């Protein structure tokens, strides 16, 4: 049996400057790597290409697409994509049935009106071919789940003290910092997929409650989302001083061990997690 890749060490190496991000992404990719990705493959909202580089490897993605020019330039330099393109997900510049798989990692929650994007994805996926026994193309994506807010450590801590207003205020602050516009349930995603001519094939929770608790606490420890000593030390402006190589080595050495049990933790059957992997398939 093929050994599972160590995404935790890989992502801590890539995101040493933001260790909690590395933890979340590592669990995310440990979940996503279990899916099958047929070509042609589109990475929708590819960003800088770091996630696809860890998941797929060099030159393994046919197209990377992102609306931001700076991200597209970085993606082009990553060596992951055979082609990169700047475009809006609401108007994908591809013909009908162009891709066997569309992958999107933690992108859709940042789009206020996601329905048109889902419909566009349905359009560019390959339709099923019953004569050849070929199923329709698949839309594989990860998003924060409908349980994300209530699994936050500091949200729960405020509620435990009877501070409901403080708990909601904290969750709203996290929404603003992370630019999250919605947290759909699996059924709501099924309805959105149906509008795009797709059927829900799978909805799987990841990021168990203890992992999200750790992630939330570590965001505060490392001062992510606000000014902090760590943010200053990890700033690209100080790269020339040479200390960041030592910081990066310390992060990988320390947390690849300390966070290993959290990285390997699955959501127990029947429970929910902070992340949701959704697979939709073009139906006709």
Helix (H, G, I), strand (E, B) or coil at 70: helix
Compute the average pLDDT of residues 9-24: 95
Which secondary structure element, helix H or strand E, spans residue 202, and what is its range?
strand 198-206
pLDDT bucket at 12, cuts 50 / 70 / 90: very high
The answer to whether residue 255 scores a pLDDT higher than 70 is: yes
Cβ neighbours of residue 130 closer than 8 Å, sequence gap 6 or more: none
DSSP 8-state secondary structure symbol assigned to residue 146: T
The mean pLDDT of the chain is: 94
The answer to whether residue 2 scores a pLDDT higher than 50 is: no
User: What is the per-residue pLDDT for 223?
Assistant: 83
Higher-scoring residue by pLDDT: 101, 224:
101
Return the bridge partners of 205, or none.
276
For the record, the structure tokens of 270 come out as 């029947």
Angstrom distance (rounded) from CA 230 to CA 238: 12
For the record, the structure tokens of 267 come out as 């959501």
List pLDDT tens digits, range 144-200.
Answer: 999 999 999 999 999 999 999 999 999 999 999 999 999 999 999 999 999 999 999
pLDDT bucket at 234, cuts 50 / 70 / 90: confident
pLDDT bucket at 238, cuts 50 / 70 / 90: confident
Angstrom distance (rounded) from CA 257 to CA 139: 34
For the record, the structure tokens of 179 come out as 């630019």
In this structure, are residues 40 and 98 in contact, taking their beta carbons and an 8 Å threshold? Answer: yes
For the record, the structure tokens of 189 come out as 């995603």
DSSP 8-state secondary structure symbol assigned to residue 126: P
How many other C-beta atoms are found inside a 10 Å radius of the C-beta of residue 256? 19
User: What is the per-residue pLDDT for 240?
Assistant: 77
- The model's pTM is 0.94
Compute the average pLDDT of residues 260-282: 97
Compute the average pLDDT of residues 200-215: 98
The answer to whether residue 233 scores a pLDDT higher than 90 is: no
User: What is the per-residue pLDDT for 235?
Assistant: 78
User: What is the per-residue pLDDT for 3?
Assistant: 56
Domains of the chain: 1-34+235-265 (no CATH), 35-146+183-208+267-284 (3.40.50.150)
Angstrom distance (rounded) from CA 93 to CA 199: 23
User: What is the per-residue pLDDT for 1?
Assistant: 36
Cβ neighbours of residue 44 closer than 8 Å, sequence gap 6 or more: 65, 89, 102, 103, 104, 107, 117, 121, 141
Cβ neighbours of residue 131 closer than 8 Å, sequence gap 6 or more: none
User: What is the per-residue pLDDT for 131?
Assistant: 84
């Amino acid at each position: 049996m093929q050994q599972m890749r160590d995404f935790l060490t890989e992502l801590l190496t890539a995101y040493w400057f933001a260790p909690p991000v590395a933890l979340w992404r590592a669990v995310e990719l440990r979940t996503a790597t279990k899916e099958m990705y047929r070509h042609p493959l589109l990475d929708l909202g590819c960003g800088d290409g770091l996630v696809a580089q860890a998941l797929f490897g060099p030159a393994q993605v046919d197209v990377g697409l992102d609306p931001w020019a700076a991200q597209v330039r970085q993606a082009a330099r990553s060596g992951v994509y055979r082609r990169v393109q700047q475009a809006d997900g609401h108007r994908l510049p591809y013909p009908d049935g162009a891709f066997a798989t569309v992958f999107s990692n933690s992108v859709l929650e940042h789009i206020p009106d996601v329905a048109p994007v889902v419909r566009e994805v349905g359009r560019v996926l390959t339709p099923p071919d019953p004569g050849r026994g070929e199923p329709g193309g698949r839309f594989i994506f990860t998003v924060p789940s409908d349980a994300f807010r209530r699994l936050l450590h500091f949200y729960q801590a405020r509620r435990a003290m009877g501070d409901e207003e403080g708990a909601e205020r904290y969750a709203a602050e996290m929404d603003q910092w992370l630019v999250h516009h919605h947290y759909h349930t699996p059924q709501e995603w099924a309805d959105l997929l149906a509008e795009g001519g797709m059927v829900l094939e799978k909805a799987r929770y990841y990021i168990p409650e203890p992992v999200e608790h750790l992630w939330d606490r570590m965001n505060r420890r490392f001062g992510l989302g606000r000014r902090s000593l760590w943010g200053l030390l990890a700033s690209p402006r100080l790269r020339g001083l040479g200390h960041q190589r030592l910081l990066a080595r310390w992060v990988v050495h320390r947390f690849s061990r300390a966070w290993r049990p959290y990285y390997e933790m699955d959501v127990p059957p029947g429970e929910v997690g902070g992340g949701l992997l959704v697979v939709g398939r073009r139906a006709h």
